[in-house]
A = this chain, B = another copy of it.
Amino acid sequence: MYAFGSRGNTGPNFNLLLLIISQLGLHTVEGVWPLPQALASSAERYSLNPQAFDFAYGKRSAAQQGCSVLDAAFKRYFTLIFQDYTSGRWNTGLETFSQLVYQDDSGSYFVNKTEIDDFPRFQFRGILLDTSRHYLPVQAILKTLDAMAYSKFNVLHWHIVDDPSFPYQSYTFPDLSSKGAFHPVTHIYTQSEVRRVISFARLWGIRVLPEFDSPGHTKSWGKGQSNLLTPCYRGGTPSGTFGPINPVLPSTYQFMERLFKEVSSLFPDSYIHLGGDEVDFSCWRSNPTVRSFMQKMRFGVDFTKLQAFYMENSLSVVEVWREGCYLCEVRKVTKAGLRVILASPWYLDQAGPKHNWARYYSVWPLAFKGSEEQKKLVIGGEVCMWGEYVDATNLAPRLWPRASAAAERLWSDEKQTSSVAKAFPRLQDFRCMLLRRGIQAEPLTIGHCQHEYLGV
């Protein structure tokens, strides 16, 4: 058998899987999630013998013998496919293949003759994890990466720090976590733990995009770095409280430069997400030093100019992400020539009957009036799992399988996947497969899976 694959994080992925094996009987698998761009399945089935089964590099494949990511993936997917034979992973082509293998009642493995031509609709398919509002143990992050790969997500947007806590252990500024984390030892991510997450993700074909949100959302930063936050004033005197990062001090920019130098050397991804959202200007406005700086810079009373000054001066790499009402906002932003990653329709930290999978499936990223050029600026989307009410206890069932609904929207052809009713049985099957692979994916409706979740 032949597996052709190319890891494509920057350009569009292209995976072609052609299966030619000895023929057998009837039967077929319900489907593959997310749906490949083209899948022609036949009733011809081939028996797979785990003892004789092997993966091989296609002659025309860009990747050849010795590719560590693919070799590791072969090993993982062997276990995933032949779970009963062994007792769990690579690229999206292997994921598709693994979903096509099934067992008969006697436990023998089969795959039907299938031709697949596949590539992702959007290049950016992310999940945001928030490790500041609640600390997520590394094990929970790794488990999420497993499940992300099963749904062909390729970006972990790690919202690592925020107001409540600073769990990132910086070697340049160790006080940031020793004073700003929930606990200086048990509730931090050491450099080696971060590296472990990154290398684990890499083997799954997943980028790790760190976010260090500033100048707002930085309360926890102030605990370990004095003179970083703006002292707020009340009635002409300091009130004892602090606001956003202080944009008027040169020391601020020296600090940010050193921090981001460290962060960008640790995270191999070419992007760092810089937040810049929800900045409360009232504290800046109250501070007389900030006000005189505004005058000196001729910003008048427009604090957005001060924020822009801060963003430009503190940062070397900037990627602007816009969120909001997903059709009007996308239209506006693409019209301005900016690239867009859709997040607002996929805030999965919300639970309840209105926030079901069908809601997240029925998102149409390109259904706005705009030119072809504008539509090309929509590079993808991400599922946001904000941490106010989410930690390791409920992360998995809140993410899965609802995030998988968003994943199919980001991967598959919209015309083939516009029907909630048609998707339903495939997603139910996919959810059962997640359970079988140990992912605590919650049920969609009344029913059962052959292998129920037993990890209680």
**Which residues of A line the B interface, CB within 8 A?**
133-135, 137, 139-140, 143, 164-165, 182-183, 186-187, 350-355, 387-397, 435, 440-448, 450, 452-456
Contact = CB atoms under 8 A, between A and B. Distances in A.
A447 B352 contact: no
Contacts of A392: 452-454, 456
A206 B143 CA distance: 35
A319 B355 CA distance: 37
| 4 interchain residue pairs of minimum CB distance | A352-B352, A182-B448, A394-B397, A351-B351
Contacts of A183: 448, 450
Given A351-B352, A394-B397, 9 more contacts: A133-B446, A137-B454, A139-B456, A183-B450, A186-B452, A350-B352, A351-B353, A352-B355, A387-B446
Contact of A448 (B187, B440, B448): B187
Contacts of A354: 352
Given A165-B448, A350-B352, A354-B352, A442 B135 contact: no
A135 B448 contact: yes
A440 to B, nearest CB: 5
Please state the number of chain copies in the assembly. 2
A350 B387 CA distance: 20
A126 to B, nearest CB: 21
Contact of A352 (B134, B353, B396): B353
B448 A134 contact: yes
B350 A447 contact: no
Contacts of A454: 137, 139, 392
A456 B438 CA distance: 9
Contacts of A393: 396-397, 435, 440-443, 453
Given A350-B353, A447-B164, A456 B396 contact: yes
22 contacts: A135-B452, A137-B453, A143-B456, A183-B450, A350-B352, A350-B353, A352-B354, A387-B446, A389-B443, A389-B444, A390-B442, A391-B442, A391-B443, A391-B453, A392-B452, A392-B456, A393-B396, A393-B453, A394-B394, A394-B442, A397-B397, A455-B455
Contacts of A143: 456
A141 B85 CA distance: 30
